[in-house]
Amino acid sequence: MRLNSSLASSTSISCTTFNILAPIYKRVDQLNQSNRESHSRDLWYTRNQDILELLLHQRSSVICLQEVWVANEELANMYHDRLATAGYDIFQLPRTNRRGDGLLTAIHKDYFELVNYRELLFNDFGDRVAQLLHVKSLVPFPSFNGKQDVQQEVLIVNTHLLFPHDSTLSIARLRQVYKILEYLEAYQKENKLTHIPIILCGDWNGSKRGHVYKFLRSQGFISSYDVAHQYTDSDAHKWVSHRNHRGNICGVDFIWLCNPTRSNSRKPLRTSWVEAVFSIIKYQLQKASIAEDNKAFAILGGNLTYSGFCQELQKVNLMGIPHGLSFQETKELWVRADLARNGVFDYEKLKKTWNMRTVDQSKKCKERVMESKKEEEAVGLKVKKAVLFPQETEKGLWPEDYSLSDHACLTVQFSLVKIISSKNFV
């Protein structure tokens, strides 16, 4: 297999995301599942040196790694030393409760300077974490108005979501993404960042068919790889990036991009969260209904009381378990669903109301654009190129001779683009 050529350029920035499979999780003997790569220094040392060779060959402006074996000082120092020597500033964040692995984000000093760094500890069922880096580009991008060159600021997030061991974890995974977006909103307001692109990198442990993907799309994020290759949301099998421990292959590694936009051009974050949760609820109840010989669950039919609503959620393990809906979340869902304020709710009526609001919101947005005589120009990022390594994964195949990780390495190249935006982004 051939290494990808570097996507670094003097007129662009590039970003790589890669789950490098921590040796404490890598199985080396299928017959003996407890035999892990961490037991053999020669194995994990050689593999991680090869991973570093790939990363240094690509020389991306930003490198976001997941499943770095941070508990092993020798391996952690290997990444720090070699990346630092190559000109990177390194930021490392272990998962909570001493899980052993964590995140590592490296920004190249030739491309970015750090403005701020934040750590997000979810303290949740999966001990997941995220890194937020506020950076300013040092690349001399030419301006669009003939004035001085642009020093573009960008928000970059690196994360690794909970693996969906079963479908009852959908709420926990969605909540992790919600926390990231909520934190980003708060950070932008706190720092008065009105026009700034956002890049979300990581192992999202879910495909384009999942609720996390749809939730991020509803909030204005685009999958950089799919944009580069002109794939639609329904092209779920055009590419893969992971062969999991069950032997299944799917695309789960994303570099999401959200450019500055008009303040009212997308739904409020909490509204999207509620709609996504109801979508999960309906999916789970439909699946359970089929499993029980098409027995109709009450929530999919007519009117339902609050106590009945809670009972339905408990039937499919979306409530009453540590990673399920909390009492406060369930109560909020109910308040939003009881449209007539009469103590009952009808899911189909709720969906119609959402659809009407979406159409109305779209019309109002168009009217505001037509009425506005002066819009403010912002600078965003444009996807120029995106590649996966190994190359076979771009065709939906997993090569048997690939041994760097159980994930592919995704690298995306961006250039600056002028965007028409309102003054109030957040």
Distances in whole angstroms, Cα of residue 327 to Cα of each of 211, 274, 279, 318: 22, 14, 19, 11
Return the pLDDT at 264.
55
Return the pLDDT at 372.
45
| Distance separating alpha carbons of residues 110 and 53, to the nearest angstrom | 19
Pairing of strands 129-137, 102-108: unpaired
Q: Mind listing the pLDDT tens digit for each residue in 115-138?
A: 999 999 998 888 999 999 999 988
Return the pLDDT at 285.
82
Return the pLDDT at 3.
42
pLDDT at 161 over 80: yes
Fold of 270-371: Recoverin; domain 1 (1.10.238)
Q: Give Cα 402 to chain centroid, integer Å.
A: 25
Higher pLDDT, 32 or 79: 79
pLDDT at 334 over 70: yes
Q: Mind listing the pLDDT tens digit for each residue in 301-314?
A: 556 788 888 888 88
Report the sign of the C-alpha dihedral through residues 210, 258, 96, 36, in that order: positive
Read off the pLDDT of each residue in 132-153 and give the average, rounded to a whole number. Answer: 76
User: Over pLDDT 90: what percentage of the chain?
Assistant: 58
Contact at 8 Å (CB) between 156 and 201? yes
Contact at 8 Å (CB) between 417 and 382? yes
DSSP symbols for 190-218: HTT--S--EEEEEE-S--TTSHHHHHHHH
Return the pLDDT at 167.
76
Q: Which amino acid is at 260?
A: P
How wide is the angle at C-alpha 47 spanned by C-alphas 41 and 50, nearest 5°? 135
Q: Give Cα 180 to chain centroid, integer Å.
A: 9
Return the pLDDT at 194.
81
Residue 351 pLDDT level (bands cut at 50, 70, 90): low
| Distance separating alpha carbons of residues 79 and 54, to the nearest angstrom | 12
Longest CA span, the chain: 69
Higher pLDDT, 92 or 371: 92
Residue 69, token pair as written in the block: 């074996």
Best mean pLDDT range from 216-225, 232-241, 330-339: 216-225
DSSP symbols for 351-401: HHHHHHHHHHHHHHHHHHHHH-S--EEEEEEEEEEEEEESGGGGGT---TT
Return the pLDDT at 5.
44
Domain 13-262+376-421, CATH class in plain words: alpha beta
So where are the chain's domains?
13-262+376-421, 270-371
Distances in whole angstroms, Cα of residue 148 to Cα of each of 30, 416, 421: 59, 15, 20
Give the closest residue to 385 by CA, choosing from 223, 228, 201.
228
| Distance separating alpha carbons of residues 105 and 157, to the nearest angstrom | 9
270-371 matches 13-262+376-421 in CATH topology: no
Give the closest residue to 172 by CA, choosing from 208, 198, 206.
206
At residue 129, what are phi and psi to the nearest 5 degrees?
Answer: -140, 170
pLDDT at 426 over 60: no
Q: Mind listing the pLDDT tens digit for each residue in 187-197?
A: 999 999 988 99
Contact at 8 Å (CB) between 286 and 300? yes
Residue 286 pLDDT level (bands cut at 50, 70, 90): confident
Q: Mind listing the pLDDT tens digit for each residue in 233-253?
A: 988 889 999 998 888 999 999
Contact at 8 Å (CB) between 422 and 263? yes
Return the pLDDT at 2.
40
Q: Mind listing the pLDDT tens digit for each residue in 390-422?
A: 999 999 999 999 999 999 999 999 998 877 555
Pairing of strands 13-19, 62-68: parallel
Contact at 8 Å (CB) between 180 and 120? yes
Return the pLDDT at 390.
97
Residue 260, token pair as written in the block: 């500055």
At residue 222, what are phi and psi to the nearest 5 degrees?
Answer: -120, 145
Give the closest residue to 242 by CA, choosing from 413, 25, 79.
25
Residue 4 pLDDT level (bands cut at 50, 70, 90): very low
Higher pLDDT, 321 or 265: 321
Residue with tokens 């109301």: 353
Contact at 8 Å (CB) between 97 and 64? no
